[in-house]
Structure 1
Amino acid sequence: MIIVTAALKGGVGKTTTSVYLAALASSNRRTATLVDADPQGSAADWIDASDDGHLDRIEIAEAPTERLLSKALDKVPPEGIGIVDMPPSHERLLNKALERARIVVIPTRVGGVETPRVKAVLELVPDGVPSGVVICSARTYTRAYQDLMEQYAKEGIPVWGSIPERVSITAGPDGPLAADGLEAYKKVWRKILAAART
């Protein structure tokens, strides 16, 4: 199962989402492959630098080009799980990943320019591939958040989860995965598994 974490804008929580989902995918003695397609290599650095036991079973493949991305995805075994952390603003590489996607996760934040960019990604997702939005750094008590949720509901855009705004969740290699982050992403993971079964 190939899960692509996609957004056309940076700073929306793609790498955080990819790492937490890889941690959940690799639980229960499974191994997950985290394919870091971002030239910055933030996901790979996070896994390499962390001593968090949640990340022990994650294999890293750095794949910042179309050729390397194809090779990395070919190595994910049929019964395995590959999670692809995409770079922002690289539509051609994103399209390459989407050709292989079983599931697409679209991290975003609450804000004026975010919704059109979510829709732009959704337009790229091939027909029949389940996709859902994850709202990162969410302040669920705000009017802006509630308005966004209403808008997505009205437009039929599935929201698979909201990740609360916590410094500990976005700490990266500087700290262990946050318990509340794992709990919030577990809800997203359940939606992914449900979508994969349909």
Structure 2
Amino acid sequence: MIIVTAALKGGVGKTTTSVYLAALASSNRRTATLVDADPQGSAADWVDNSDDEHLARIEIAEAPTERLLTKALDKVPPEGIGVVDMPPSHERLLNKALERARIVLIPTRIGGVETPRVKAVLDLVPKGTPVGLVICSARTYTRSYAEAMQQYAEEGIPVWGTIPERVSITAGPMGPLAEDGLEAYRKVWRKILAAARS
């Protein structure tokens, strides 16, 4: 199962989402492959530099080009799980990943230019591929959050999870994965598994 974490904008939580999902995918003695397609290599650095046991069974494949991405995805075994952390603003590479995606996850934030950027990614997702949003660094008590959720509901855009705004969740390699982050992403993981079965 290839899960692509896609967004055309940086700073929306793609790498955080990819790392937490790879950690959840690698639980129960499974091995997950985290394909870091971002030239910055932040996801790979996070896993490599962390001594968090949640990240111990994650295989890393750095794949910042179309050729390397194809090779990395080919190496994910049929019964395996690959989570692809895409770079922002690289539509050609994103399209390459989307061709192979079993599930697409779109991390986003609330407000500003986020909704049009989400729709731009949704337009790229092949028909029939399950896709859901993850609202990252969410301030769930705000009016803008409520309005955005209502708009997504009215437009039939599925929101698979809301990740609360917490410094501990986005701390990266500086600390272990946050328990409340794992809990929030566990809900997203259940939606992914349900979508993969349907």
With normalisation by structure 2, the TM-score equals 1.00
Residue 32 (str. 1) matches residue 24 (str. 2)? no
Q: After the TM superposition, which residues 49-88 of structure 1 pair with which residues of structure 2 at under 5 Å, given as runs?
A: 49-88=49-88
Deviations 1:147-174 (A, max 9, x none): 0000000000000000000000000000
- How far off its partner does 1:79 sit? 0.1
Tell me the distance in 1 between the aligned counterparts of 2:88 and 2:134: 16
- How far off its partner does 1:112 sit? 1.5
Counterpart in 2 of 1:139?
139
Q: Give aligned-pair identity as a percent.
A: 88
Q: After the TM superposition, which residues 15-164 of structure 1 pair with which residues of structure 2 at under 5 Å, given as runs?
A: 15-164=15-164
- How far off its partner does 1:111 sit? 1.2
Tell me the distance in 2 between the aligned counterparts of 1:134 and 1:187: 10
Moved over 4 A (4+): none
Structure 1 unmatched runs, 5+:
none
Tell me the distance in 2 between the aligned counterparts of 1:191 and 1:139: 21
Tell me the distance in 2 between the aligned counterparts of 1:71 and 1:88: 21
Residue 194 (str. 1) matches residue 194 (str. 2)? yes
Q: Which amino acid aligns with 2:43?
A: A
Tell me the distance in 1 between the aligned counterparts of 2:162 and 2:143: 15
Q: Which amino acid aligns with 2:68?
A: L
SS in structure 2 at match of 1:88: coil
Structure 2 unmatched runs, 5+:
none
Tell me the distance in 2 between the aligned counterparts of 1:156 and 1:117: 16
Aligned residues: 198
SS in structure 1 at match of 2:166: coil
Tell me the distance in 1 between the aligned counterparts of 2:190 and 2:118: 21
Q: Which amino acid aligns with 1:11?
A: G
Tell me the distance in 1 between the aligned counterparts of 2:111 and 2:45: 28
RMSD: 0.2
Q: Which amino acid aligns with 1:20?
A: Y
SS in structure 2 at match of 1:106: strand
